[in-house]
Structure formats: C-alpha cells, structure tokens
Amino acid sequence: MQIERELTKNPRRRSYQLGNSQKMAPYVFVFPFLLSFAVFFAYPLINAGIMSFQEVLPGEVSFTGLDNYRGLWNEDFGAALYNSSRYTIWTLLLLIPVPMILAVLLNSKKMPWSNFFRSTLFIPALTSVVVAGVVFRLIFGELDGALMNTILHLFGISSQRWLYSSSLGMFALLVLAGWRWIGINILYFLSALQSIPAELYEAADIDGAGAFRKLIRITIPLLKPITIYVVTITIYGGYAMFTESYMLWAGKPSPQNIGLTIVGYIYQQGFQYFNLGFGSAIGITLLGITLLVSLVQLTLTGMFKKED
Amino acid sequence: MKKAFLCTTVLLLILVMGLSGCGGNGNKETSPTNQPAASNKGSKATEGSETAKPPAQAEKVVFWTFVDAHQKFYESMAASWNESHPDKAIALEATTIPYDDMHTKLLVALQSGVGAPDLVDIEQSKFPNFMKGTPQLVSLNDIVEPELGNIVKSRVEIYSKDKTYYGIDYHVGATVMYYNKEMLDQAGINPDTIKTWADFETAGKQMLDKTGKPMITFEGNGNWSWWPAISQQGSDQVDENGNVTVDTPVNVKTMEFFQKMVKEGVAAVAPGAGHDTEEYFGYMDSGGAASVFMPFWFMNRFTDHIPDLKGKVIIRPMPAWVEGGNRSAGMGGTATSITNQAKNPDLIKEFLAYAKMSKEGNLQVWKQLGFDPIRTDVWSDPAMKESNKFTDYFGTDIFDTLLSVKDEIAPVHIREKSPEVFDAIRNKAMPQIFIDMKDPAKVLKEVQDSLK
C-alpha cells in the first residue's frame, strides 16, 4: 500500500532513486509472496522440525531426541496412515476419470444445457465444508428416516449404521469428496479441453475416426499435463484431508478410529492431548510421505524427463 | 548487480516501515481505552469526580467460555458484583467461542505467553492438558480453602495438582435416574422399590414382558453409562496416581452386567450411540425406553429436546450395587480458572469467589443454569423449590432426591492420562462391547494394554 501510494505520488523522483525500475519490478512483485511464505510457511516448518525433537510443555521445553518419532510406531498412527492412504487411492479413482468424462461431455457441442450443468456442478465447491459435513452427517444417519437409509429401503435393503463401520464410513467420506471436488476438477479439465486445437479433430474426422477413438487418441493424451496436475493435487488433498472426517463424526473421535486421518491424528495429539512435540513429528512424517508419493508419481509420469 | 541489491534493501525497508506504521496506528487507536483501565488501579478515588458509569473506570476482565449460558451467567454476576462492590467494579468482556476452538486457542495462548484471557472456562476432560508441565493458571487456594467444608470437595479436587487448586466447577453433576413414570405405571413398577441393580434387572424384565420396551439405554460410543456405574463402586478409569485402571475386576464385572442386560433386551444401546444425540432425543420423546441415568446437567436436554415427556419424568437416585452402597456419582463439569496472564489476579479471584463460591452465586447457578450447585447448604434452600422450567418438568422434589445422595458421591480422578483414556474407552471399548458385542474382559484388557 505504502509503496503504491509513494509511486503514484511522484513517479519520476521515485524511479530516479530506485535506479532502473525495470530491474526492480520483479522483486517488488515477488516480495509479498516471499514475505508471506517466510512468515506462514518457512518459519512454522522449521519450527515444527525443531519441535518434533522436543517435549513441549507449558513452561518446560526439553529435547528428547528421536522419542517422538519412535512413538509413531503404534496402532493409531497405523490406522490413520491406512485410512489416509485408502482415501487417497479411492479419490484418485473417483476424482480423475469421472470429472474427465463429464468435462468432455460438457465440452461437446451436442450437450444441451451445458452451462447450467457447469454451474450446478461447481456450486458444492463454494459451500462451506462445515455446513456440508453437518448435512452429510444427517444424510448418513442411522435411523430409518435418514436419506441414505430411505434410498436403501427402495431397493429392499435394511437400514445401515453408516458411520460405525470402516467401509461404510469410507463410502460416506468418498461421497462427500466426490460431491465437493468433482466440480473443481471438471473446471481444470474443461480449460485444458478448450486449448486442444480443433484441427486435430477435423483431421481425425477426415481419416474416419469415431468419437471413442478420438477420445482415446487425441483428447486423453493431450490432457496429460493437466491430468498430472490434478493427480498431484488429489494426492496432496487426500493425505491432507481432515475437515470432512472431523465434521462427519461431529468433531468427536470416530468409533474405533474408522475416520481417523493423519491430519486428524496431528490434531488429536497436538491439540486435544496437547502433545505438540509428537504432533510436529507426525506432521513432518506426513510431509515426508506426501513428498515421496508425489515424487514417485511425477517420475512415473515423466515430469522430470528432459524434453527432446 | 550491487545497485539492484541496494534497491531491494531500500524497498524492503520501506515496506517494513510501512507495515510497522500500520501496526503503530492500530495501537494508538486502541490505546485510549486501555489507558484508563491501566491507570485507575492506583487512582480510582481521584477519578471519582467524573460521572462516568462504573464500567468506564472499572478493571477490564476478559472472559472466554464455550457455553452461551455461562457467558450470560457471568455477565449477570458481574452486574450484581458492580452494584454491591462499586469500589471494585469490573468491566467483564465475555466471549463465547466454540468448544474445540476455545480450548485450542487457550492452549496456544498459554504456551506462547500472550493473548490469553483473564478468566476462562475449561471443560473437565480438557483440564489435564492445562496441568502438564508448569500450570499456567493461578492458584485459587486462598478462595477455595475457607469454603472446603461447605462445598462438594471433589468438585475442586479434580482441578488440582500437588495440593494447589486451579479451577472451580459450576456444579456437582450428580448422576441420577430419570424414569418415565407413565411407562413404569403401565408395567406396574414402583421406582421406589428399586434399591439395587439386581432389583433393577428384575424390574426391567417385567417391563420387557408387559410393554416389550427396554427398561434402560446405554451409550454405545460414550462414557456416561459405564463411568458413573464404576464410580458408584469406588472404582475409576484412572487411579489417584494417574495409573490406568480400565480392566480392574469391578470395571469388567460392571461392563459384563450391562452387556448382559443388552443381550437380554432389558437394556438397549442408545440410537445415535450416545445419550446426547438428536437421534436419542427423538427416541426417548416417543417413549423408546423407560429410564436412563445421566448426570444432573442432562435435565436441560429433557426440557429443551424431549418436550413430550413433560410431567412424566421423575428423578430418583441410581440403584446401588450392594445394599447401602453409593447411589450417585459426580460426572462431567467445567472449571473456571484464572490465567497467569491476568493483569489483576487478586481482584478477579474475589469476583470468582463471589460468582462461584458464595451462597448467592450458587443460587444463581441453579436459577440461571439449572445445575446442582457445588455448595450443598443451598440445596435445602427454599429457592430450590421455586417454580422454573425444571420444576415444571420434573416436579419440585428434585433437590430432595439430591439431598438424599449428598454423601454418596465419590470423587473421580482426572489425571494427565485421562483425555487419552476417555477417548480409548469411548471409541474403542464401548463400540466393541455394545455394538459388536465382544467379550468385555478381553476388550478392556486390550485397551488397558494399549494405554501403557
């Protein structure tokens, strides 16, 4: 703000003082990012790294070496890791192909009402997860009147206790994830689809290719860069998932840890048991896991290969 | 290159100064309101010439809570305090923050040494977090000790460490039976003849025969069924020294007895797996089960969420495990504490004693909050029979029941390990025992082992 005001006040003098303003511009533009990065990312990250080797108690902080990391070898962390990984894999299977196909459909000129569908599919992304969590908790209620159970009754299946079993609980989480993220991923794919040159399809038409062949041979290969991007953020989103499970189980720990995620475990240990050192150790471990998974995925998809 | 570097530095400096300028302005704007508060500590008398309202020159006290009703309670107590103590007026700034948020914010504020309120509510199961390391709360011994004879002692002991008291509860949380009188009458059961749990089981079978409905419900994912029952027998989940005692013989036997009742159909697992859920309120409202035992504070769930049972529910002591055994247990609670960041702890202590330890404060706890106050001498006060929404719902003999179990409330142990133990019981043991119907002895042993 200050600078902006200064610059507009007397632009000529300022440019003299600062030398070549062309050279300065990038620094000015990058500075706010660097500042927020340093304050909100680098500093907490370094501090978390240090805290993960400490026992942090009010008024008493002491180094305990690798104790926190050794403590990770337990059932709860195992459950959290299992749930997060399972959730990530399922979201990858759900949130890549479905939005891709929907985007292709929405992009097609034959599709009626496509603008209407585009906006309705995107609306969930604008809804607060907290509100959505409450609504979904009611949808997946265990009473006969709950929406999901009413649907089951239509097919002659008896009521289920959705949020008490591991697989049904995961299903509820996936429905919530699908509802929330499909619209956003459609948006990514749509923008990529619009950048595919129409000549390619015209040429394929001349060669006599059908719609399916065009999808397989032209659309999907040309969507690869954006697909890699979406896969990366989905992996990250999967491992970072917390709010959904927190809201679905009403902020209380889920029965038998069926909804415990790694971030949920950080929250539980760090804030509910006030074990900040151990919480930091889980956080650093999560960072390692996501880094590793993303690196493997990026290597496999050829992101690090030099273009010939 | 060098020039570019220099320019960057200059720019950085400008930005930093600009930012700090903003900060400075912000401070200046708020400082006038701070100033009088800070300066009037010593010079209250001299400022008397000004005809401002008491709060304008009063000591500012910031209070955090997670219950709206608690905020209203303290606001009314502050108003009456200012009337009776004009020379020690306080300006209470109370805020209600959601449960988890408030406790997390408080932990961080106390850990980092800035930003904590002066006065704060801390819920019982969160309290051990604040006892870790060096407690960042103020010792309340000088206001608690003189009253120890008049209050239920365990209600301050649970918030103590090394003989220092750090918090004062709102209530006793005496666990009582809530019987649906209409259903008991249908089945021909007289609740006053149920003295022990064995009697209760027999009555439950009669209920099942006559009405086909369960006599009682248990939580399938909570702590309010098993914990009061073991507390009645002098047992607990954690012992006095903080050791986990989840799988002691008494605890296992109690769980086995409850599971047996569920298997017989005498008891049901609460819909929603807990007593404090929407599903359960609907279930009870439509006469799903004939009774439940919950702490005293559960009364307002009946008045607010189970309206159809108005006038049909009676409050009685819990059945004892052996003839002459304890018929109640003190469960749940919220302490009010003073943080070490309070600017004038002595004044706040006086106010806290007024609000929570005095007779008038305790009467207000019942009148405004509907809790069983920690001072037992007010339980027999005529004010307790005055008509309010609770006496309209449950009848006027509520405190007669309480008085009869006054000396049958064993203290519970809240230690550092407690939050973890509670979670393990709620999320691992209870669902396995009451939903998956596994063997209690085995499940409790596993939980005990996992907590070591």
In total, chain B counts a number of residues equal to 452
B416 touching A (Cβ < 8 Å): no
A82 and A9 co-located in one domain: no
A29 touching B (Cβ < 8 Å): no
ipTM: 0.74
Judge: A251–B136 Cβ closer than 8 Å, yes or no.
no
Question: Does some domain include residue A62?
Answer: no
Other CB atoms within 10 A of residue A42 CB: 11
CA B335 to chain centre: 7
Which residues partner with B314 through β-bridges?
B179
Q: In what side-by-side order are the strands of the sheet with B334-338?
A: B90-96, B59-65, B119-123, B334-338, B168-169
User: What is the spatial distance between Cα A179 and Cα A173, in angstroms, rounded to a whole number?
Assistant: 10
Residues on chain A touching B428 (C-beta within 8 angstroms)? 256-257
By three-state DSSP, how is residue B217 classified?
Answer: strand
Write out residues in chain A with pLDDT < 70, as ranges. 1-20, 306-308
CA distances for B408 relative to B231, B329, B398, angstroms:
10, 7, 16
Interface probe with B: pick from A29, A165, A256, most Cβ of B within 10 Å: A256
Please check whether residue A133 is in contact with residue A176, taking contact to mean a CB–CB distance below 8 angstroms. Answer: yes
Judge: B273–A24 Cβ closer than 8 Å, yes or no.
no
Please check whether residue B450 is in contact with residue B417, taking contact to mean a CB–CB distance below 8 angstroms. Answer: no
Domain boundary assignment for chain B: 55-169+332-385, 175-330+409-450
Please check whether residue A206 is in contact with residue A193, taking contact to mean a CB–CB distance below 8 angstroms. Answer: no
Residue B136: which of A58, A272, A273 has the nearest Cβ? A58
Residues on chain B touching A257 (C-beta within 8 angstroms)? 427-428
Question: Does some domain include residue A60?
Answer: no
Residue A251: which of B100, B271, B420 has the nearest Cβ? B100
Judge: B435–A255 Cβ closer than 8 Å, yes or no.
yes
AA identity, residue B430:
M
Judge: A254–B8 Cβ closer than 8 Å, yes or no.
no
Judge: A257–B104 Cβ closer than 8 Å, yes or no.
no
Task: Give the total number of structural domains in chain A.
Answer: 2
Interface probe with A: pick from B427, B433, B448, B450, most Cβ of A within 10 Å: B427
Domain B175-330+409-450 belongs in CATH node 3.40.50.1220: no
Judge: A59–B18 Cβ closer than 8 Å, yes or no.
no
Judge: A274–B134 Cβ closer than 8 Å, yes or no.
no
Other CB atoms within 10 A of residue A138 CB: 13
A209 and A294 co-located in one domain: yes
pLDDT of residue B33: 35
With tokens 């809790």, the residue in question is: B371
A58 touching B (Cβ < 8 Å): yes
User: What is the spatial distance between Cα A228 and Cα A297, in angstroms, rounded to a whole number?
Assistant: 9
A60 touching B (Cβ < 8 Å): yes
A229 and A123 co-located in one domain: yes
pLDDT of residue A17: 57
User: What is the spatial distance between Cα B53 and Cα B75, in angstroms, rounded to a whole number?
Assistant: 16
Judge: B111–A276 Cβ closer than 8 Å, yes or no.
yes
Residues on chain B touching A58 (C-beta within 8 angstroms)? 110-111, 130, 132-136
A149 and A41 co-located in one domain: no
CA distances for A94 relative to A150, A179, A231, A290, B380, angstroms:
24, 11, 11, 19, 64
Scanning B172-201 for CB atoms below 8 A from A yields none
Interface probe with B: pick from A39, A272, A278, most Cβ of B within 10 Å: A272
A232 and A182 co-located in one domain: yes
Judge: B111–A58 Cβ closer than 8 Å, yes or no.
yes
A23 and A104 co-located in one domain: no
Q: A202-223: per-residue pLDDT in tens?
A: 999 999 888 889 888 999 999 9
* Phi and psi angles of residue A60, each rounded to the nearest 5 degrees, phi first: -140, 100
User: What is the spatial distance between Cα B348 and Cα B61, in angstroms, rounded to a whole number?
Assistant: 8
A27 and A169 co-located in one domain: no
Closest-CA distance of chain B to residue A31, Å = 8
Question: Does some domain include residue A70?
Answer: no
Closest-CA distance of chain B to residue A237, Å = 23
Q: Establish whether domains B55-169+332-385 and B175-330+409-450 are of one fold.
A: yes
Question: Does some domain include residue A266?
Answer: yes
Nearest residue of B to residue A260 by CA position?
B427
Other CB atoms within 10 A of residue B42 CB: 8
Judge: A251–B132 Cβ closer than 8 Å, yes or no.
no
User: What is the spatial distance between Cα B125 and Cα B422, in angstroms, rounded to a whole number?
Assistant: 8
* Phi and psi angles of residue B313, each rounded to the nearest 5 degrees, phi first: -100, 135
Please check whether residue A286 is in contact with residue A238, taking contact to mean a CB–CB distance below 8 angstroms. Answer: no
Q: Minimal CA–CA distance to B340: which of B95, B134, B37?
A: B134
Average pLDDT, chain A: 88
Residue A59: which of B18, B133, B272 has the nearest Cβ? B133
Please check whether residue A162 is in contact with residue A249, taking contact to mean a CB–CB distance below 8 angstroms. Answer: no
User: What is the spatial distance between Cα B305 and Cα B284, in angstroms, rounded to a whole number?
Assistant: 10
Count Cβ atoms within 10 A of the Cβ of residue A259 and give its class: 0-12 exposed, 13-18 middle, 19 or more buried: buried
Q: Give chain B's radius of gyration (CA, Å).
A: 26
By three-state DSSP, how is residue B269 classified?
Answer: strand
Question: Does some domain include residue A66?
Answer: no
A247 and A121 co-located in one domain: yes
pLDDT of residue B279: 83
Nearest residue of B to residue A267 by CA position?
B104
Closest-CA distance of chain B to residue A50, Å = 16
A25 touching B (Cβ < 8 Å): no
Q: Minimal CA–CA distance to A304: which of A247, A216, A228?
A: A228
A88 and A205 co-located in one domain: yes
Give the per-residue SS3 of A5-74. HHHHHCHHHHHHHCCCHHHHHHHHHHHHHHHHHHHHHHHHHHHHHHHCCEEEECCEEEECCCHHHHCCCC
Closest-CA distance of chain B to residue A26, Å = 10
AA identity, residue B232:
Q
Please check whether residue B178 is in contact with residue B293, taking contact to mean a CB–CB distance below 8 angstroms. Answer: yes
Strand B267-269 and strand B216-218: the pairing is parallel
Residue B133: which of A24, A58, A253 has the nearest Cβ? A58
Count Cβ atoms within 10 A of the Cβ of residue A287 and give its class: 0-12 exposed, 13-18 middle, 19 or more buried: middle
Judge: A59–B136 Cβ closer than 8 Å, yes or no.
yes
A25 and A166 co-located in one domain: no
By three-state DSSP, how is residue A258 classified?
Answer: coil
User: What is the spatial distance between Cα A20 and Cα B4, in angstroms, rounded to a whole number?
Assistant: 8
pLDDT of residue B28: 33
Closest-CA distance of chain B to residue A8, Å = 15
Residues in CB range of A107: below 8 A, 6 or more apart? A114, A190, A193, A194
Closest-CA distance of chain A to residue B429, Å = 8
B426 touching A (Cβ < 8 Å): yes
A290 and A158 co-located in one domain: yes
Tokens of B373: 């106050």
pLDDT of residue A306: 64
Tokens of A22: 């062309």
Q: Which domain holds residue A183?
A: 75-300
Judge: A253–B428 Cβ closer than 8 Å, yes or no.
no
pLDDT of residue B4: 53
- Give me the sign of the Cα torsion angle B368, B372, B377, B381: positive
Please check whether residue B448 is in contact with residue B441, taking contact to mean a CB–CB distance below 8 angstroms. Answer: no
Nearest residue of A to residue B7 by CA position?
A18
B301 touching A (Cβ < 8 Å): no
* Phi and psi angles of residue B445, each rounded to the nearest 5 degrees, phi first: -65, -45
Which DSSP string do the residues of A184-239 spell out, in sequence order? Answer: HHHHHHHHHHHTS-HHHHHHHHHTT--HHHHIIIIIHHHTHHHHHHHHHHHHHHHH
Judge: A2–B14 Cβ closer than 8 Å, yes or no.
yes
User: What is the spatial distance between Cα B316 and Cα B175, in angstroms, rounded to a whole number?
Assistant: 10
User: What is the spatial distance between Cα A11 and Cα B18, in angstroms, rounded to a whole number?
Assistant: 18
Residue B3: which of A19, A75, A251 has the nearest Cβ? A19
In total, chain A counts a number of residues equal to 308
A164 and A221 co-located in one domain: yes
Long-range CB contacts (< 8 A, 24+ apart) of B385-394? B389/B303, B390/B299, B390/B300, B390/B303, B392/B310, B392/B311, B393/B299, B393/B302, B393/B303, B393/B310, B393/B311, B393/B313, B394/B299, B394/B302, B394/B313, B394/B314, B394/B315
Question: Does some domain include residue A292?
Answer: yes
Judge: B99–A251 Cβ closer than 8 Å, yes or no.
yes
Question: Does some domain include residue A61?
Answer: no
Count Cβ atoms within 10 A of the Cβ of residue A233 and give its class: 0-12 exposed, 13-18 middle, 19 or more buried: middle
Please check whether residue B132 is in contact with residue B388, taking contact to mean a CB–CB distance below 8 angstroms. Answer: no
Judge: A58–B110 Cβ closer than 8 Å, yes or no.
yes
A18 touching B (Cβ < 8 Å): yes
pLDDT of residue B31: 34
Q: A276-294: per-residue pLDDT in tens?
A: 999 999 999 999 999 999 8
By three-state DSSP, how is residue B373 classified?
Answer: strand
Judge: A18–B426 Cβ closer than 8 Å, yes or no.
no
CATH tag, B55-169+332-385: 3.40.190.10
Interface probe with A: pick from B106, B423, B449, B452, most Cβ of A within 10 Å: B423
Which CATH number goes with the domain that contains A80? 1.10.3720.10
Residues on chain B touching A56 (C-beta within 8 angstroms)? 111
What's the average pLDDT block by block, 10 residues per block, for chain B (452 residues)? 50 43 35 36 38 61 94 95 93 93 92 93 92 92 93 90 93 95 95 95 95 94 93 93 93 96 95 86 93 94 93 95 93 94 94 94 92 92 88 91 90 88 91 92 94 82
